C-alpha cells in the first residue's frame, strides 16, 4: 500500500481572538507614549504635577466667578476677599465686544444675518459633496453682506455685481481673439457700467434702504472677522497669480511680481497699516474719500498675498518636471496646463502653508487697534478698561478674547487637516 504523504489543509478559518490588553486601547497608548522609557516616565510625572498645580490654583478662580455685577467694585464686595473672577464684565459688555460701541443696537440683526449667511456661502466652497449650484449664492454673498452690514440702498451692490458679470461676459466674447484684448475690453465695459449705474443708485438712494452705518462705527469681533475674511478670500487668488507671475518668462511681469513680493515681505504689517491710515489716501484723486476699512483691507490683502505667493511657489517647485512635460505632450497651452494639471497638484501641497498664513492674518487683524480702530482687542484696551466701572479687569477680558481667537483658528486648522485627508495629499 502506498504511503499517503498529503499535507493536512484546514478548511475553516480560525476564530478571531481579542488582542492582549497590552496591545490595545488605553494601556497600549500609555505604554507607548508615556512610560516607554525612564526619561518619558520622568517627563510624564513632571507634566502631571504641572497640570495638577495649575488646576488646583486656578479652579477656585473660575468656580467663584461672579456673573451678576455692575462694576468691578461690586464684584470685590460680593467675593469678600475670596479669590474669584469678575465675569460680569463679559455679560455686561458683550454687545460692545461683538459689535463695537457705536453700531446701532437696533441693527444688530444685520451682522447676525450676514454671519449666518456666511456659513451658507462657505459651505459649497469648503465641502465638495454639496451641490455645485450653491456656488451661485457664494458669488452673490459678498454683495449681499455689504448691503446688510453697511446699509444704504441695495442698488449699490446690485450694480457692482451686474457690472462684474457684464465685464466677465465681455471677456468671454473677446478673449478668443486675444487674452489681453479680452481683459482690456472687460475692464472698460465694467467701468462704464459702474459709472452709469452710480448715477442710477444716487437718483434712487432711498429704494429699500437700510440705515447707513459708517465704517468708523464698526468694531468688536465683527471688525476682526470682517477684515480677516475679506483679506484672506482675496489674497489667495492674488497670491496664486503672483506666484505664477514670478515664474513667468516675460521679464516685465516677472520683475513686477518679484519686487512686489519681496518689498511686502520685507515690511512689517504694522507699517503697512500706518500707510493705509495716513499715506494711502494721497494716492487717490483729491475729491474721493476712501473708506478706512477699505484702505486697511487693501494693505492686509497685499501683505497676505505676498506670503501666500511664496507658499504656492514652493508647491509649484515641489512638482516633478514630468508633470510639466506631460501637460506639453497632451498639447495643452499654458493656461490649460496650469488649470487642469499643475495648479491642482501644487495647491494640494500648499494647503498647510496657505492655512498657516491665513490663520496668522486672522490673528493679525488685532493690530488695527494701533491705528485707532476698535476691534475686539481695541474695545478691551480702550472703552472698556478706560471706564471707571471696569478698570483693573484684565484676565477675564483678554482671556475671553484669546478663547474666541483660539476657537476660530483651531476650527480652521482642523478643517485644513480634514481637507488634506480628503484630497490624499500624501498619496498623490
Quick: pLDDT tens for 194-209: 888 877 777 776 777 7
CA angle 131, 136, 139 (to 5 degrees): 130
Most confidently modeled range among 212-221, 282-291, 377-386, 395-404: 395-404
Q: Where are the beta strands (DSSP E) in 60-167?
A: none
Quick: pLDDT tens for 95-152: 888 988 888 888 888 889 988 888 888 888 778 777 777 788 888 888 888 888 888 8
Quick: pLDDT tens for 231-247: 888 888 888 888 888 88
pLDDT at 50: 94
Residue matched to cell numbers 497632451: 330
pLDDT at 7: 62
Asked if 385 and 369 touch (Cβ cutoff 8 Å), the reply is no
**pLDDT above 70: residue 4:** no
- 309 within a domain of the structure (yes/no): yes
Work out how many domains the chain is built from and give that number. Answer: 1
pLDDT at 348: 84
- 301 within a domain of the structure (yes/no): yes
Quick: pLDDT tens for 350-362: 888 888 888 888 8
Asked if 231 and 301 touch (Cβ cutoff 8 Å), the reply is yes
Taking the C-alpha atoms of residue 132 and residue 136, their distance in angstroms, rounded to an integer, is 8
pLDDT at 53: 92
Handedness of CA 56, 58, 62, 66 (dihedral sign): positive
* Helices 220-246 & 343-364 angle (0-180, nearest 10): 140
**pLDDT above 80: residue 309:** yes
**Higher per-residue pLDDT: 255 or 182:** 255
- 294 within a domain of the structure (yes/no): yes
pLDDT band at 179 (very low <50, low <70, confident <90, very high): low
Asked if 265 and 310 touch (Cβ cutoff 8 Å), the reply is yes
Asked if 305 and 239 touch (Cβ cutoff 8 Å), the reply is yes
Of 290, 312, 310, 289, the residue nearest 299 (C-alpha): 290
pLDDT at 428: 47
Helix (H) or strand (E) holding 31: helix 25-33
- 340 within a domain of the structure (yes/no): yes
Cα separation of the two ends of the chain: 62
pLDDT at 49: 93
pLDDT at 181: 74
- 3 within a domain of the structure (yes/no): no
pLDDT at 52: 92
Q: What is the 3-state secondary structure (H, E, C) of 56-75?
A: HHHHHHHHCCECCCCCHHHH
Residue 36 C-alpha cell reads as 516607554
CATH of the domain at 256: 1.10.3720.10
Beta bridge partners of 210: 152
- 283 within a domain of the structure (yes/no): yes
pLDDT band at 46 (very low <50, low <70, confident <90, very high): very high
Q: Dump the DSSP string for 237-270.
A: HHHHHHHHHHT-SSHHHHHHHHHHHHHHHTS-HH
Question: Domain range spanning residue 345?
Answer: 128-375
**Higher per-residue pLDDT: 14 or 389:** 389
Asked if 246 and 315 touch (Cβ cutoff 8 Å), the reply is no
**Chain center to CA of 287:** 34
Percentage of the chain modeled with pLDDT above 70: 92
Which of 5-9, 136-140, 367-371, 378-382 is predicted with the least confidence, judged by mean pLDDT? Answer: 5-9
Tell me the three state secondary structure of residue 204: coil
**Higher per-residue pLDDT: 54 or 287:** 54
Asked if 329 and 235 touch (Cβ cutoff 8 Å), the reply is no
Residue 269 C-alpha cell reads as 504689517
Distances (CA, A) of 221 to 97, 280, 366, 395: 6, 25, 9, 18
pTM, two decimals, is: 0.79
Backbone angles phi, psi at 108, to 5 degrees: -60, -25
- 97 within a domain of the structure (yes/no): no
Mean pLDDT score, 249-256: 85
For residue 189, how many other CB atoms are within 10 A of its CB? 19
Taking the C-alpha atoms of residue 396 and residue 65, their distance in angstroms, rounded to an integer, is 10
Q: Give the up-direction half-sphere exposure of residue 64: CA atoms within 13 A in the CB hemisphere.
A: 16
pLDDT at 5: 59
| DSSP, res 319 | S
Of 288, 299, 274, 275, the residue nearest 369 (C-alpha): 274
Taking the C-alpha atoms of residue 180 and residue 171, their distance in angstroms, rounded to an integer, is 9
- 303 within a domain of the structure (yes/no): yes
Amino acid at each position: 500500500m502506498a504511503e499517503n504523504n498529503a499535507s493536512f489543509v484546514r478548511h475553516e478559518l480560525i476564530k478571531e481572538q481579542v488582542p492582549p490588553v497590552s496591545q490595545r486601547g488605553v494601556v497600549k497608548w500609555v505604554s507607548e507614549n508615556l512610560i516607554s522609557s525612564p526619561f518619558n516616565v520622568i517627563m510624564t510625572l513632571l507634566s502631571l504635577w504641572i497640570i495638577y498645580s495649575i488646576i488646583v490654583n486656578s479652579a477656585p478662580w473660575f468656580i467663584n466667578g461672579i456673573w451678576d455685577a455692575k462694576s468691578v467694585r461690586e464684584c470685590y464686595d460680593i467675593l469678600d476677599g475670596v479669590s474669584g473672577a469678575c465675569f460680569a464684565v463679559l455679560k455686561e459688555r458683550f454687545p460692545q465686544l461683538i459689535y463695537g460701541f457705536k453700531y446701532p443696537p437696533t441693527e444688530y440683526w444685520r451682522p447676525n444675518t450676514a454671519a449666518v449667511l456666511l456659513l451658507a456661502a462657505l459651505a459649497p466652497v469648503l465641502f465638495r459633496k454639496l451641490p455645485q449650484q450653491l456656488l451661485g449664492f457664494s458669488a452673490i454673498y459678498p454683495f449681499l453682506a455689504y448691503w446688510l452690514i453697511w446699509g444704504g440702498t441695495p442698488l449699490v451692490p446690485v450694480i457692482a455685481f451686474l457690472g462684474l458679470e457684464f465685464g466677465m461676459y465681455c471677456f468671454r466674447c473677446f478673449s478668443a481673439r486675444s487674452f489681453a484684448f479680452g481683459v482690456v475690453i472687460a475692464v472698460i465695459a465694467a467701468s462704464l457700467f459702474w459709472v452709469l449705474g452710480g448715477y442710477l443708485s444716487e437718483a434712487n438712494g432711498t429704494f429699500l434702504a437700510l440705515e447707513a452705518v459708517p465704517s468708523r462705527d464698526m468694531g468688536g469681533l465683527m471688525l476682526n472677522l470682517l477684515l480677516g475674511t475679506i483679506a484672506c478670500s482675496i489674497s489667495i487668488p492674488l497670491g496664486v497669480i503672483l506666484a505664477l507671475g514670478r515664474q513667468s518668462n516675460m521679464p516685465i511681469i516677472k520683475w513686477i511680481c518679484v519686487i512686489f513680493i519681496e518689498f511686502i515681505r520685507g515690511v512689517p504689517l504694522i507699517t503697512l497699516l500706518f500707510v493705509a491710515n495716513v499715506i494711502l489716501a494721497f494716492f487717490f484723486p483729491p475729491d474721493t474719500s476712501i473708506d478706512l476699512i477699505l484702505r486697511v483691507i487693501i494693505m492686509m490683502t497685499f501683505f497676505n498675498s505676498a506670503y501666500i505667493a511664496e507658499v504656492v511657489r514652493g508647491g509649484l517647485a515641489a512638482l516633478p518636471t514630468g508633470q510639466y512635460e506631460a501637460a506639453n505632450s497632451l498639447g495643452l497651452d499654458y493656461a490649460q496646463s496650469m488649470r487642469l494639471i499643475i495648479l491642482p497638484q501644487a495647491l494640494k501641497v500648499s494647503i498647510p502653508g496657505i492655512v498657516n498664513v491665513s490663520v496668522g492674518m486672522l490673528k493679525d487683524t488685532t493690530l488695527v487697534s494701533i491705528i485707532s480702530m476698535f476691534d475686539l482687542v481695541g474695545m478691551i484696551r480702550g472703552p472698556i478698561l478706560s471706564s471707571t466701572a471696569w478698570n483693573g479687569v484684565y484676565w477675564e477680558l483678554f482671556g475671553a478674547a484669546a478663547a474666541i481667537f483660539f476657537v476660530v483658528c483651531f476650527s480652521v486648522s482642523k478643517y485644513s487637516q480634514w481637507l488634506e485627508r480628503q484630497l490624499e495629499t500624501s498619496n498623490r
